Amino acid sequence: MTDGPLTGIRVIEFTHAWAGPMCGRILADFGADVIKVESRKRLDITRITGPWPKGREHDPDAAYHYLEYNRNKRSINLELTDSHDLDIARRLVASADVVVENFAPGVLQKFGLDYESICERNSRVIMLSISGFGATGPHRSFVAFGQQVEAESGLMSITGYEGGPPLKVGVSYPDPTAAVSGVLAVMSALLYRDRTSRGQWIDLSMLETTASMLSGPILEWQLTGHVPVALGNRSCDSAPHGIYPCRGADRWIALEVHGEMEWQRFQAAVGLPWVLDPHYASQSARLLHSADLDGEIRKWTGVQDADELAEKLRMCNVRAPVVATIADLMRDPHLRDRGFWIDFDTVALGRFRSQGLLAKLHETPGSLRLPPPRLGEHGDEILAELGTND
């Protein structure tokens, strides 16, 4: 087994959906022993909602979302409503360095698995509770998935086409940001515990983690008096700055040109009369005439192949990648060269490809040790470790 930077850290997870499981997965990727406590009666929602591969419909061990967020973990099946299982759960958390949970606030308290109760037997424990709005406040028990949190955070109001209705980011954005924020907080608490022997409880509100990534617009409103709105792909500082169509169906390149040196490189790459138009002769002029400029660029890009154009601009040191689809990413030679993707074999599906690690740690890298566990796969092994005979 490969050693990781978190080898020796034991994490007990009571998580479902995306934020909690992804947080545990990152800790597991870097070597922590992460035990996912699951319930047959109340399966992780990603095991239920699919999608599934053909022929494996409704198989909780073959659901794509589950597989993506749970590699490197062990799974034990415990029904917390059963006193015998609950006792095992309590013994597990008594052995934990870290407990991660994303139940609604107050749920684990009913089972005596809240921070205060765990502390009675394990005062060094660090517990991370992830919820939509935090464990206190008038909305603490409001129901929210990441998308609802995104709406409340204000992010939807500044994402979208100019003048159009609010739009969401293409994924449930607050979930992964909460997951990584959770890792950051857990690591801070582990470092503090190494200095002081004290554990602590982390109350993570997905609304707050998302709002923390919007400090720019929050200050903008106060400094300018204008309510920040969606600007499409435009920038207030430079033009051109946008996404432009290329030849073929749904092919696009993104383009950012900052300052005069880059504009000159772009002019050279285009080599057509319109780039010399005095309307575009300075950054401020280009910002003023950005709609016309975008029109010219669209005409120019629209007849070209996206990959060829991106490569041509790249050779001129212009910031202009293809707007990548997942198919583009899978065949991206740069990512392949970096060894980004992680491939492994699952009992359920055979060969499976998963996202790479959060970062490359050069001396103590993360690694793949275990494929995502089948429901309760490691129950016997974990019980044996606890010294339980049954």
Partner 1 sequence: MTDQALAGLRVVELADFVAGAFCGKLLADFGADVIKVEPPGGCSLRAAFPVVRGDPERAGYFLALNTNKRSVTADIEHADGVAVVKRLLLTADVVILESEGDMDTVGWVRGSLKPGAVLASITPFGLSGPRTADLGGDLVASAAGGLAFITGEPDHPPLKAGAYQALHLAGLQAAASTLIAVFAARRRGVGQVVEVSMQEAVIAVLEATVPDFFLDGTVRSRMGTKHPTVHGLGMQQLRDGAWLFVGTLPTDAMWDGARAFMPDAEWMADPRWRDPRTRRLHADEIDRLAAETFSKLNSHDAYEALQSRRIPVAIVNNVPGLLASAQLASRRFFREIAHPIAGNLTYPGPICQLSVTPAAEPRSAPTLGEHNQEIYMYELGLSAEEFAAACT
Q: Running DSSP on this structure, what letter comes out for residue 372?
A: P
Hey, what amino acid is at 351? R
Residue 207 structure tokens: 């609304």
What distance in Å separates the CA atoms of residue 287 and residue 293, rounded to the nearest whole number?
Answer: 9
What distance in Å separates the CA atoms of residue 70 and residue 30, rounded to the nearest whole number?
Answer: 13
CA angle, 357 as apex, 68 and 99 as ends, to 5°?
70
Q: 274 or 341, CB closer to partner 1?
A: 341
Give me the catalytic one of 29, 61, 114, 175. Answer: 175
CB of 264 to partner 1, least distance (A): 14
CB of 94 to partner 1, least distance (A): 19
What distance in Å separates the CA atoms of residue 296 and residue 282, rounded to the nearest whole number?
Answer: 16
- Beta carbons of 147 and 159 less than 8 angstroms apart: no
Residues 52-56: contacts with CB within 8 Å, 24+ apart? 53/349, 56/348, 56/349
Beta pairing, strands 350-354 & 342-346 = antiparallel
State the residue for tokens 């994402």. Answer: 159
Q: 93 or 156, CB closer to partner 1?
A: 156
What distance in Å separates the CA atoms of residue 2 and residue 31, rounded to the nearest whole number?
Answer: 8
CB of 108 to partner 1, least distance (A): 15
State the residue for tokens 């582990």. Answer: 190
Burial class of residue 186 (count of CB atoms within 10 Å of its CB; 0-12, 13-18, 19+)? buried
Q: 20 or 88, CB closer to partner 1?
A: 20
Q: 86 or 349, CB closer to partner 1?
A: 349
CB of 386 to partner 1, least distance (A): 25
Beta pairing, strands 342-346 & 252-256 = unpaired
CB of 87 to partner 1, least distance (A): 26
Burial class of residue 349 (count of CB atoms within 10 Å of its CB; 0-12, 13-18, 19+)? middle
What distance in Å separates the CA atoms of residue 8 and residue 95, rounded to the nearest whole number?
Answer: 12
Mark whether 114 is an active-site residue. no
Q: 203 or 305, CB closer to partner 1?
A: 203
Q: 16 or 74, CB closer to partner 1?
A: 16
CB of 78 to partner 1, least distance (A): 23
Positions marked active-site: 175
